[in-house]
């Protein structure tokens, strides 16, 4: 009888250990994706840095290409996160969803630069009439207001992600 209890306890401990390894693995994978997003946004020679350099040089076509690269990189990361298996890890689905929602909102802000750059190009093109350039400047102003709203959405989703990470770590004994 005692041997059966010991074997039962060992089975329970091995299942908990396995679950903990899966939870830890998911956390590590999501942290790696976070570093990849960081590199997109501020990494040396990353798409965002190239976009800014192109804008400084006045090369709007180059800036648009950099935004396309940025979008593709975000799409790849989001797709990879979406494909992750949570294997019944406590709060794994919630953490995965919160991470995807956050990265989707950051991507939306980044690719909104397409419209902004197009308006900058129109407003700086001397071949356009003054009215067309003024309308582009007005549209640019509206886009800046939209950008402020996108930043608010990002902050909210960032808070939701932080809460999901906290719950995940707590429920999976990772802190």
Higher pLDDT, 19 or 159: 159
Nearest to 32 by CA among 67, 84, 70, 72: 84
What does pLDDT average to over the chain?
Answer: 87
* pLDDT score of 139 more than 60: yes
- What confidence tier does 16 reach under pLDDT thresholds 50, 70, 90? very low
Nearest to 121 by CA among 52, 53, 55: 55
Residue 6 confidence (pLDDT): 54
Contact 158, 104 (CB under 8 A): no
**pTM reported for the whole predicted model:** 0.83
Tokens of 128: 């356009």
Of 22-31, 92-101, 102-111, the one with minimum mean pLDDT is 22-31
Count helices and strands in the chain by DSSP H and E runs: 6, 0
Compute the average pLDDT of residues 121-130: 84
pLDDT, tens digit, for every residue of 38-55?
999 998 989 999 999 999
Distance separating alpha carbons of residues 32 and 26, to the nearest angstrom: 10
Rounded CA gap, 85 and 95, in Å? 12
Average pLDDT over residues 72-92: 94
């Amino acid at each position: 009888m005692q041997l059966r209890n010991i074997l039962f306890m060992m089975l329970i401990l091995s299942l908990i250990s396995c679950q903990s390894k899966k939870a830890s693995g998911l956390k590590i994978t999501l942290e790696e994706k976070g570093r990849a997003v960081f590199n997109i946004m501020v990494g040396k020679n990353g798409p965002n840095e190239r976009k800014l350099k192109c804008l400084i040089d006045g090369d709007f076509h180059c800036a648009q290409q950099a935004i396309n690269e940025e979008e593709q990189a975000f799409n790849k990361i989001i797709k990879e996160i979406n494909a992750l298996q949570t294997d019944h890890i406590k709060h794994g689905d919630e953490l995965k969803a919160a991470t995807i929602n956050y990265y989707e909102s950051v991507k939306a802000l980044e690719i909104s630069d397409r419209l902004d750059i197009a308006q900058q190009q129109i407003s700086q093109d001397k071949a356009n009439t003054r009215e067309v350039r003024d309308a582009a400047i007005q549209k640019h102003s509206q886009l800046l207001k939209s950008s402020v709203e996108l930043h608010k959405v990002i902050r909210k989703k960032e808070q939701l992600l932080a809460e999901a990470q906290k719950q995940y770590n707590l429920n999976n004994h990772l802190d």
